[in-house]
Structure 1
Amino acid sequence: MTAADARRFGATPLAWMMLGEWRAHPGRVVVAALAVAVGVALGFAVHLVNGSAQAELARAMRTVNADADLHVAASTPLGFDERLYAVLARAPGVVAASPVVALQARFGAGPASFEEGGLSLLGLDPLRAIEVTPSLVATAAGRAASAPEQVFDPDAISLSPAALAASGARLGERVTVTAGGRSAGFRVAGVLPMGDSGQQIAVVDIAAAQWRFGSLGRLQRVDLKLAPGAALPRVAADLRSRLPPEAQVVTDSSQTRRGDNLTRAYRVNLQMLALVALLTGGFLVFSAQSLSVARRRPQFALLRVLGLERRGLLAQVLAEGLVVGATGALLGLALGAGLAAAILGILGGDLGSGFFRGATPDLVVEPLAVAVFFVLGLAAAVLGSVLPALEAGRARPGVALKDLGDLGEGDTRRSGLWGLGLLAAGALAALAPAVGGVSLFGYLSIGLLLAGGVAAMPWLARALLSPLQEAAPRGVVLELALSRLWGAPSQAAVALCGIVASVSLMAAMGVMVTSLRGSVDAWLGDILPGDLLFRVEGGGFDPDQQSRIAAAPGVAGVLFQKTLPLQLSPDRPPAMLVVRPVARGAPAGTLPIIGRTARAPAAALPVWVSEPASRLYGIEVGEQLQLPLPGAPEVFVAGVWRDYARQAGAIAMDDADYARLTGDRLRNEASVDLQPGVRPAAAASAIRAALPGPLAAQAQFVETRQMRAIALQVFDSSFALTYALEAIAIAVGLAGVAATMSAQTLARTKEFGMLRHVGVLRRQIIAMLACEGAALGAVGLVAGLGLGLAMSQVLIHVVNPQSFYWTMDTRVPLVLFASLAVSLIGACALTAVLAGRRALSADAVRAVREDW
């Protein structure tokens, strides 16, 4: 607004116009503000959870690594030769070294669950650890445990506060710890000085750990303290040249990046989906502002005639959008903080994905993030107000003074060209590669497709309504309804933009989640054969025990396998080495092979990599790959297989090849085919009887169908927020439909009065409105579902492969779409009827007397 406009009119009259409009139609303003608030709240909540989880993860890393400057870690749980410790301790730049046995453990000696234990068992030399990692040396009753018998007692164990609470024991009492398939009892002798870090850590003497848990001569880690002034990069590079293949240098920064890479794609994708929800809110603001401008065109025209300049009118409309955006953004920030706190308490820092477990992170709120999401909310509302403001400024005052509030109908072909251009740009963006492991162009493609679909709505509305107008049976009610919609496609487009945005977002996510869930279900059928699954921790079954299991009563066949983490890169989470029978000529018999395969040369050792491993590390079929196993074997990549369980990647190797390579013939997992009529419980009892006592006590059995149900339950938990986004998209879309239909119907009071004067009955007008609402809902449904299907293909074939490194087969949720069709069309028709009753409550003569 110019200074002259401000002096001529003052701020008060323009504020009165704004407040008067909002008092007349509060529902429309509330829905627009809530749409912005929902988008801001979702984006802000996911951002807060991300930041809080990363802060907790970094703190956990610092807790476990204590004060060490550098670490040499094993590439697999098998560890490396302990003689490497002496080499590292004498390396240039190293002033102290502490050998560590690091094992995944749990309290108790009974059968383990199929989830990993949450206890980290560390075997340390206290005299070395006190120099390098003093926070891992225990205290007793708040004092340093300095007595020799306390420090070197093989029966003593020290627990972190979280581990002490999980054990249920007190100082001086005994606990049983199971690791590596072996159980041992210890006396709780001290508490680690870790405060309330939430990490479950247990420390025992290194000799006791090696002897009692089957790790003689092996280490999993060496913590290093560098000399003052020593350059960490130079020391790390020197150490790498001294290491065997099964060990690698790990820094605190690389461990932090490893944890960040574990969940980054999942977190970024949720963040992007939340911002798409904010974009949907912007479209609903556009719808509300367009209707408000259309209704007030005579008022704006009067202000123009009285001397208000066009840019002053533009500023008026933008100011209204700014107020709506600020209100929605502030509300969204408050809702987002509350939602983030609830998510951290219920789903944890991994957003329910199951990537890592531990203490509930504290909520971390950064002022910069608050400012950014507040600005995003403002931007969504202001951008949604730009086009309505330009429309108001373009109107000719003399004509608009007698306008009934309808939008001018321009050439719909122009909107069609704009829409097609944006859709084409979206299709091209989908072809771009990922940026830093994140599918930024994939989400840009979704945004462009959404904008193109909305921009093309005037042309598309007329195109979809034309067949209805020609094929509909003749009748006053239906003919009036279709003629009105066909003749005013721009007004229909305003009502449809919020519908199309919400429906398309919901449809895209619905198709993506349904496709992934269906593909996971089918994959589980391939990867979990047999009737019964069982495993033991640690070492596993030797060949003799495997033979006894296969000969147990009721067992028709057994497939034995072993999985162990394989650290291919210090910056990434470990991949999994899957050891199971795989036939060279027919790998599809035991693995869900996808794509082409290659036959390995006779002297080569074939392996098959999972989709995530192939994409993460750029591994192609036919390549040679060096594995970080003893001897650094060169293997031949013979194919790629589908794996949804290990996002960090997996490598499958035939068990006979693995046994020849490592000499390890122990297998800790098995899938059992039962003879006809044999109950799983009876077979489990027979197998347990065939095992020696310790293994029998630790064996965990589960039916295959139960395991599939558990896996799908984990899947549903992982996508809990995605389901919530779908529900919110539907709710916001239906609220937008109600507000838009109500506003458009009330703006046509004079039109209804004229129809009453020419003899149209009240019930016919209400029926006409019901037909209009239903037709509008049907058009929005068709356009939204079509656009959503296109967006879902970007999610399925671009975003998921680039971010999560897996592919899936498209599956359409027909039940969801049918439910949406009924609810959307019904909501549109009902809203139009209810608003029509209100508009028809005025006397027909009074409705048109201004035009006499």
Structure 2
Amino acid sequence: MASRARPSRTAALWMILGEWRAHPVRVATAALAIAVGVALGFAVHLVNASALNEFSHALSTVNGDADLQVRSRSPLGFDEALYPRAARAAGVAAASPVVELPASAEAVGDLTLIGLDVLRAASVTPALLGPAAAADPFDAEAVALSPAALEATGARVGDTITLAAAGRVARFRVAGMLPGAGEGRRLAVVDIAAAQWRFGQLGRLQRIDLRLAPGADPQAVRTAAAAILPPDAEIVSAAGQTRRSDALSRAYRVNLEMLGLVALLTGAFLVYSAQSLSVARRRPQFALLRVLGAPRRALLAQVMAEALIVGLAGALCGLALGLGLAWAALSLLGGDLGGGYFGGRPALVFAPAAAGVFLALGLAAALLGSLLPARSAARAQPAVALKSAGDGAEAGGGRLGWTAPALLAAGAAAAFAPAVGGVSVFGYLSIALLLGGGVAAMPWLARRILGPLQGRAARFPPVDLALKRLWGAPSQAALALCGIVASTSLMIAMAVMVTSFRGSVEDWLDQILPDDLYLRVEGGGGFDAGVQARLAAAPGVAAIRFRRLTPLSLAADKPPVALLAGDIDSAGSTLPLIGKPRPVGPGATPVWVSEPAAWIYRWRPGDRIVLPLGPGGRSPVVVAGIWRDYARQQGALAMRAADYQRLTGDALRTEAAIVLQPGADPRATGARLRALLPPAIAGRTTVGAPRKIRAAALRIFDRSFAVTYLLEAIAILVGLAGAAAAFAAQTLARTREFGMLRHVGVRRGQVAVMLAAEGALLGALGAVAGLGLGFAMSQVLIRVVNPQSFHWTMQTKAPWGLFAAVAAALVAASAGTALLAGRRALSTDAVRAVREDW
């Protein structure tokens, strides 16, 4: 037995090496397809892991070393009377009250102002204390800046700087630097009394940092503390805040990872195509091994071993490529991959466990793609296979078996399943099943499309021969089309989704930007009542509407929603409403919720909800309608400015929409408006026309989908490469067929025309199947994946020009590829080509 097994293994090794030497392009294409899928998924995972790691460091910098925090649900803060009750809660060893405000310094926005009780913070969050506390811990004019804040403001220790926050402006002396601040974090730490007094926060806190007693159970402390919290406060941990951010970006990164895995599925189809052609070509060799005593399982193991080696090579290359792509993405796009969820340029963090998972996925894709060809090699009858040339048509290849309908039906059913943990798992499963079903139906589809064409090209013998060849061998046509249909359908699905989304965003921007000019304050601060009056009276201004935009936390496990307070009529007609508004009744306070907010919190018009605003942090409101909002995935609420000010007493506004008087110059009016602003906010106020804002928003949209565009390009290139390899293999296997045609009088040029016609017909078949299947998959993306992941709906908009370009490119590329692949076979002498038949 051992002596028999050794020659069998040796023969198998020689067969594998010989096949790879004969067709290196086909093997390399299959490995490349696996590498691309692994690289894309792994790169997205690494970028996200690096961004979350950076975000976690940022949180630890701002939060210090606190075990738990009591945080305000809005920037308005909560009553400081909560502090002594929280400090006395069971399990709490020490508590530190904190004022935390978004601020700016010397026209530099994106700065966090922190007011600390130095004596309390020393035992809870000592990392937030700077040397300023050592000299005079209660100096109301001293500020300690982080290194990043010092660099951004250009200040030095001893200089005087201006800080703006909560609509107030105050000057401080830079007393020192914060040594514990993380790299890139802009922090300004002052005494808590100075922060409350000078920035209008008397009696208010934004958070309380807690240090637990040794041995205290964090969950028990959270439960005890939650019992004493008012409605406008919540208790959180650093891990919980990280999970919030993770939840905000999860849908975006999961979408990209899933698209990478769909690309990996495309690689599995290319492996299937390559292995099927390889097995068909080597049937006589496998039959000889069977005759010599090799068992079926040895042939099965040989083909699977080939797949394992190809998959391993592709997966390893994919991991290396993914590492490089992740580094490039972090360098060029930052940690958000263009999505806008994270800022900065985080350092690349390698994830060994994730590398192992993606390596396993690459191997699984290669093995899955080789399973059916391996079974075919093992089941072949030796007597029949010894006389097979490896290019015969499979019997019944044009029949529609149960596999394709079952996969398509399962894919359609999966599209109706709900999301799992906020992720459209079944939506992506539906895409995978539809893709598999569409590819499995290709032999049947080829027969149905080519059947009516039979006999119509009799006047053109080369074209007629090409039609008869494809109609008579639909399974071989399907093998050549596997990769091209899979990649084309994926590209079309993403193209339709992106076009529909972009078109819907353009329509939405036209609705929400009806005015002539827009002002917005970046960073902390805004327009107080005096500034609002000056802006309204400025020359050239016919009308002006102010709006307040502020975050509002409604649930501890979800990101804050955006609360928009502005001039909204009683019907909410100034908002892009979805459906009809609903009257709320006399005495009720109406709010209009965005479509994402309605999805996340399951709100419907007429629902009564409680917002953490106003006296006691409880303000009942009624949902008056749902409006479309593509800017805030985490959700938004809109309410009338008068209601907001009545509930909160906050008269500060952060945005303004301006209607100009007839004949007023927008640029000159914008300059006059900026000149009327206080210096503390003038440098941080953007003035924009609707056209420029619209263009900037679409640039951000295109940037966020840059990775998707890359996936589209890679998908079609890999598919064409796979089709080229399949054409080459099938053409070389038909050398004797070409020789026989030459013997019966067919000229070399006519054979070349026949090959070009075959390629063009295959390209047309691929275009028809890819466009149809891709459009079906796009509806799953538009109507299932996007609503479940991002909570956005949109209208389907088909890119007809792209459809035509893709179809033409596939036909031309397939015809050219088939012709180039046939040059080697056509160069063989016609007599030698059929010598085996003598």
Query: Aligned pair 1:529/2:514, yes or no?
Result: yes
C-alpha distance in structure 1 between counterparts of 2:398 and 2:587, whole Å: 66
Matched letter for residue 298 of structure 1: P
Indicate the residue corresponding to 2:297 in structure 1: 311
Deviation string, structure 1 residues 50-95 (Cα, Å, up to 9, x no partner)? 2222222222222222221221111111112223323323334333
Query: Aligned pair 1:580/2:572, yes or no?
Result: no
**Structure 1: tracts of 5 or more residues without a match:** none
Indicate the residue corresponding to 2:264 in structure 1: 278
Query: Aligned pair 1:465/2:450, yes or no?
Result: yes
1:146 paired residue among 134, 138, 146: 134
Deviation string, structure 1 residues 785-840 (Cα, Å, up to 9, x no partner)? 11111111111111111111111111112232222222221111001111112211
Match of 1:491, SS state, is helix
Superposed displacement of residue 393, structure 1: 2.1
Aligned residues: 835
Indicate the residue corresponding to 1:121 in structure 2: 113
Matched letter for residue 600 of structure 1: V
Map 1:530-569 onto structure 2 (within 5 A): 530-536=515-521, 538=524, 540-542=526-528, 545-569=531-555
C-alpha distance in structure 1 between counterparts of 2:492 and 2:210, whole Å: 53
1:42 paired residue among 40, 43, 68: 40
Indicate the residue corresponding to 1:480 in structure 2: 465
Match of 1:834, SS state, is helix
Superposed displacement of residue 460, structure 1: 1.1
Indicate the residue corresponding to 2:102 in structure 1: 104
C-alpha distance in structure 2 between counterparts of 1:98 and 1:405, whole Å: 79
Query: Aligned pair 1:759/2:745, yes or no?
Result: yes
C-alpha distance in structure 1 between counterparts of 2:534 and 2:241, whole Å: 42
Deviation string, structure 1 residues 593-617 (Cα, Å, up to 9, x no partner)? 1135322122221111111111111
Range with greater deviation from structure 2 (118-127 or 236-245): 236-245
C-alpha distance in structure 2 between counterparts of 1:79 and 1:235, whole Å: 22
Match of 1:188, SS state, is strand
Matched letter for residue 463 of structure 2: L
Map 1:270-669 onto structure 2 (within 5 A): 270-358=256-344, 360-412=345-397, 414-469=399-454, 472=457, 474-536=459-521, 538=524, 540-542=526-528, 545-585=531-571, 587=572, 589-631=573-615, 632-669=618-655
Match of 1:120, SS state, is strand
C-alpha distance in structure 1 between counterparts of 2:2 and 2:663, whole Å: 90
Deviation string, structure 1 residues 485-507 (Cα, Å, up to 9, x no partner)? 01100000000110111001111
C-alpha distance in structure 1 between counterparts of 2:707 and 2:775, whole Å: 20
TM-score by length of 2: 0.96
Indicate the residue corresponding to 1:55 in structure 2: 53
Change (3 A) 1:591 1:749: same
Matched letter for residue 513 of structure 2: L
Is contact 1:102–1:120 with CA below 8 Å preserved after alignment?
A: yes
Matched letter for residue 630 of structure 1: G
Is contact 1:469–1:482 with CA below 8 Å preserved after alignment?
A: yes
Superposed displacement of residue 222, structure 1: 1.2
Matched letter for residue 480 of structure 1: L
Is contact 1:593–1:640 with CA below 8 Å preserved after alignment?
A: yes
Matched letter for residue 122 of structure 1: I
Match of 1:214, SS state, is coil
Match of 1:39, SS state, is helix
C-alpha distance in structure 1 between counterparts of 2:4 and 2:187, whole Å: 70
Is contact 2:95–2:211 with CA below 8 Å preserved after alignment?
A: yes
Range with greater deviation from structure 2 (32-41 or 618-627): 618-627
Superposed displacement of residue 421, structure 1: 1.1
**Structure 2: tracts of 5 or more residues without a match:** none
Range with greater deviation from structure 2 (544-553 or 415-424): 544-553
C-alpha distance in structure 1 between counterparts of 2:301 and 2:626, whole Å: 59
Range with greater deviation from structure 2 (162-171 or 498-507): 162-171
TM-score by length of 1: 0.94
Match of 1:579, SS state, is strand
C-alpha distance in structure 1 between counterparts of 2:314 and 2:273, whole Å: 16
Is contact 1:801–1:807 with CA below 8 Å preserved after alignment?
A: yes
C-alpha distance in structure 2 between counterparts of 1:842 and 1:91, whole Å: 90
C-alpha distance in structure 1 between counterparts of 2:104 and 2:677, whole Å: 22
Is contact 1:752–1:840 with CA below 8 Å preserved after alignment?
A: yes
Is contact 2:398–2:474 with CA below 8 Å preserved after alignment?
A: no
1:160 paired residue among 113, 134, 146: 146
C-alpha distance in structure 2 between counterparts of 1:407 and 1:424, whole Å: 31
Match of 1:146, SS state, is helix
Deviation string, structure 1 residues 503-550 (Cα, Å, up to 9, x no partner)? 011111111111111111111111222121003365544556545433
Match of 2:583, SS state, is coil
Indicate the residue corresponding to 1:71 in structure 2: 69
Matched letter for residue 801 of structure 1: P
Range with greater deviation from structure 2 (482-491 or 805-814): 805-814
Is contact 1:37–1:330 with CA below 8 Å preserved after alignment?
A: yes
Match of 1:118, SS state, is strand
Matched letter for residue 248 of structure 1: E
Deviation string, structure 1 residues 25-69 (Cα, Å, up to 9, x no partner)? 111011001000111111111122222222222222222222212
1:134 paired residue among 126, 137, 143: 126
Pairwise CA RMSD: 2.1
Range with greater deviation from structure 2 (702-711 or 399-408): 399-408
Change (3 A) 1:33 1:407: farther
Change (3 A) 1:395 1:91: closer
Map 1:671-690 onto structure 2 (within 5 A): 671-688=657-674
Change (3 A) 1:375 1:3: farther
C-alpha distance in structure 1 between counterparts of 2:724 and 2:533, whole Å: 69
C-alpha distance in structure 2 between counterparts of 1:156 and 1:542, whole Å: 26
Indicate the residue corresponding to 1:28 in structure 2: 26
Superposed displacement of residue 230, structure 1: 3.3
Is contact 1:5–1:312 with CA below 8 Å preserved after alignment?
A: no
Identity of aligned residues (%): 63
C-alpha distance in structure 2 between counterparts of 1:195 and 1:214, whole Å: 26
Change (3 A) 1:463 1:414: closer
